[in-house]
Amino acid sequence: MAALPPPDLNIPASPSTVSVSIINTSTRIRGLSTRHFFDPPITGHDYIAAPAFAFLIQHPTLNRTLTFDLGMSKHWRSNPVLNAMFASNPTVDISVEESVREILEAGGVDCKDIEAVVWSHWHMDHTGDLPEFEKGTKLIVGPGFQEKVLPGYPRNPQSYVMESDWEGRELVEIGFEDGLNIGKFQAFDYFGDGSFYLLDSPGHAVGHLCGLARVTADPPSFILMGGDAYHHGGMIRPSKYLPLPDSITPNPFTPSTTSPCLGHIFEPLLPNGDKTQPFYVPSVPEGRGAYDDAEEAKRTIQKLQEADVREDVLMVAAHDETLLDIVDFFPKKANDFVKKGWVREARWRFLKDFAEAVGYEGEVQGKRNWGPPG
């Protein structure tokens, strides 16, 4: 089946840009089963990779600064609900070496100048150490947060969201009533000049937000901050706009080689062998899964596929460990990703996770152990 032409995202033209740095937050979570996140099971891909990325967003002419997400808190064990949750699950191992504020200050950022922290959503591996920031730093959340997530702990003793995170600071819940759309997403123009948008992207969690930053103006290019809208490249690719290619370069198993990988070896893993459908869909396991609404999550992924096909959009999901070997992290900036070819380098790298399933017997470059310790 031939690829459909990529749709116009209808991003309003603007000369305004922001500078974006991708922050490797030092969060590492091991031992999370893939079955909790996506189906169907694929042999050898048993555990999800879970670093956690955040973003520093700086508007150069307005002199305004945001962060998007914060990774996991260094002090997560002080949350009684989280501590009890993971104490009962000894196969999961969590390490956090530095808070985002510590990382930023070590890189020369004066965090007193950060006007707001945006939470893509309120899950523990994104909310970080917000109390380390000044009370004048606002917290920005998505629609439905105040109605469906509040109150936090301790007023709600079952909540693992801490009320101390927003105590004494301004809590701003974004609305999408202005009728602005980017692609099929409802959008909010944060700075009012087309340089940074928040996108309404529900499914994984109540109020989930993605970010879309214009990082160059002529020609325009964008970084899409995906949060947990998807948890693996196989949830968004292939697509009807981006079919599985016959020849894959760089080779996902050995990116340093000049020899391509043949796409047909992965076709048996695709639904009905369809090269225009993703390998995975959001899972609905017995009990509580990773999605507030798995069907809504599928719709959000379909909207993201319209951006994913483009060479001028860098997709950065929060836990995409394939990017660890490709992008430059803070304190470097990511604005020149087009010139550096990161989209091409990253697009099919996730296929390395299927080495066992396709019978690949060589050494997989960049392979990491995200399973339980020991």
| Model pLDDT, residue 325 | 95
| Model pLDDT, residue 88 | 76
Residue 366 lies in a domain: no
- Domain with 257 in it: 19-358
Residue 130 lies in a domain: yes
Residue 373 lies in a domain: no
Q: Which two tokens stand for residue 278?
A: 């993703």
Residue 145 lies in a domain: yes
Say if CB 73 and CB 127 are below 8 A apart.
yes
Residue 257 maps to which CATH number? 3.60.15.10
Residue 371 lies in a domain: no
Residue 165 lies in a domain: yes
Residue 369 lies in a domain: no
Q: Number of structural domains, the chain?
A: 1
| Model pLDDT, residue 160 | 86
Q: Write down the residue that tokens 């997530």 correspond to.
A: 149
Residue 274: CB partners within 8 Å, gap ≥ 6? 1
| Model pLDDT, residue 106 | 98
Residues in the chain, pLDDT under 50: none
| Model pLDDT, residue 288 | 62
Q: Which residues pair with 24 in a beta bridge?
A: 53
- For residue 307, the surrounding DSSP H or E stretch is helix 294-308
Separation CA 5–CA 277 (nearest Å):
15
The model's pLDDT over 302-348, given as tens digits with 9 standing for 90+, comes to: 999 999 999 999 999 999 999 999 999 999 999 999 999 999 999 99
